[in-house]
Structure 1
Amino acid sequence: MGTDQIACWAMIVAAYLLGSIPTGLLLGKLCGVDVRREGSGNIGATNLYRTVGRWVGVMTLAGDCLKGAVPVLLASRYCSPPECAAWVGLAAFSGHVFSLFLKFRGGKGVATALGVFLVLSPLAVVCALALFVGLMLVWRYVSLGSIMAAALMPLAVVFLGGGRDLFWVTLIISLVVIVKHHENIRRLVAGTENRFKA
């Protein structure tokens, strides 16, 4: 194994460990709340926003996003081959969704995926965000916007000329995000999903 491969694997491990840090859980506990026992029980920004407060929700979103963006940015600059950055992104996302510190449980991964793709494919993010915002304005369901934006991402990456590794990483992340929203999908179908209130 060459030096470049060792560096890439080291970044993958580091990205997973960084992604595993449960931002929302830690911020909630600083406010005296265990978000796993409040609202939807999810440790992501939406549940923090609803149960702890607007600014804590925003801080959770920013923290989870940075967990994805920072390791990918470092890998893009310092690791070779270029494809390494995509797998580093998958590792950071996996850490958030399957956290080492939460017995391999975690959030749904939307914010961390956003951070990953802001570095790997920002134009695809613009397309997905446009769809997300449009759906939010019409129906006010964060989950619906997240699911549809995730579904769009692999198509956007292909259309914008992303490479093979980026496509597969995007497809894996998108499928995991959608599967992690299975309870939201059930509530959307039943008409009992909570709408977002600013």
Structure 2
Amino acid sequence: MIEWLFVPAAYLIGSVSSAIIICRLMGLPDPREQGSGNPGATNVMRIGGKKAAAATLSGDLLKGLIPVYAAHLLGMPAGLLAATGLAAFIGHLYPIFFGFKGGKGVATTIGVLFGFSWVLGLAFVATWLLMYKVGKISSLSALTAAVLAPAYAWFIVGNPMLVVAVALMTVVLLWRHKSNIQRLLAGEEKTIKS
């Protein structure tokens, strides 16, 4: 069925690395070779500043939002919405265009959540902002929001397939942040200067 083209299309959209493209356009070093080595907005902020980070964050968020929201507008069933969101997320983590070395997936997850429900997306962002205001640690903010996201999905969206998709993204986010978790436990995780 033609609607299942959304899944491979979402993976390809997710595979477009905003961090690498923005850094190239702005004449910055490859984020995979600088700082933490992660092609994501936090690392781009460290090597290129707030404007580069904002552009990266926006790109990563949109590539999660656009395919899911398009499927939503076309009235696709929840199972296909879930698969489309997961495909965009996996594309970001393992981008076919950039040697399958992608980011950790937080911004793309936010985009997917907004595609599922704008209230769900706002709940994640609000949790992130609250935690960041308290501790100024990006990874802790993201991990806290991610851990709470399946519960938010259950109460806000309620559809089991979408809840499972959110839970799967949470598990992968925790795994992708395992080095951050180790540093947090050791009290060595870096803060981000305002």
Count of residues in correspondence between the two structures: 193
8 Å CA contact 1:79, 1:85 repeated in 2? no
Which residue does 1:10 correspond to in 2?
A: 5
Unmatched 5+ stretches in structure 1: 1-5
Are 1:23 and 2:18 an aligned pair? Answer: yes
Q: TM-score, normalised by structure 2?
A: 0.94
- Secondary structure of 1:70's counterpart equals helix
After the TM superposition, which parts of structure 1 deviate over 3 Å for at least 4 consecutive aligned residues? none
Which residue does 2:138 correspond to in 1?
A: 142
Q: Which amino acid is the alignment partner of residue 24 of structure 2?
A: K
- Secondary structure of 2:38's counterpart equals coil
Give me the identity figure in percent. Answer: 38
Per the TM alignment, residue 169 of structure 1 is displaced from its structure 2 partner at its CA by 0.5
Q: Distance in 1 between matches of 2:139 and 2:16?
A: 23
Q: Distance in 2 between matches of 1:142 and 1:70?
A: 24
CA-based RMSD of the aligned residues comes to 1.3
Q: Distance in 1 between matches of 2:66 and 2:15?
A: 14
Q: Distance in 1 between matches of 2:22 and 2:75?
A: 32
Cα deviation 1:29-85 (Å, max 9, x = unaligned) = 223311111111111011111101210110000000000111011111225324312
Are 1:170 and 2:187 an aligned pair? Answer: no
Unmatched 5+ stretches in structure 2: none
Per the TM alignment, residue 161 of structure 1 is displaced from its structure 2 partner at its CA by 4.2
Which residue does 2:90 correspond to in 1?
A: 94
- 1:55-134 residue pairs with structure 2 within 5 A? 55-78=51-74, 80-134=76-130
Q: TM-score, normalised by structure 1?
A: 0.92
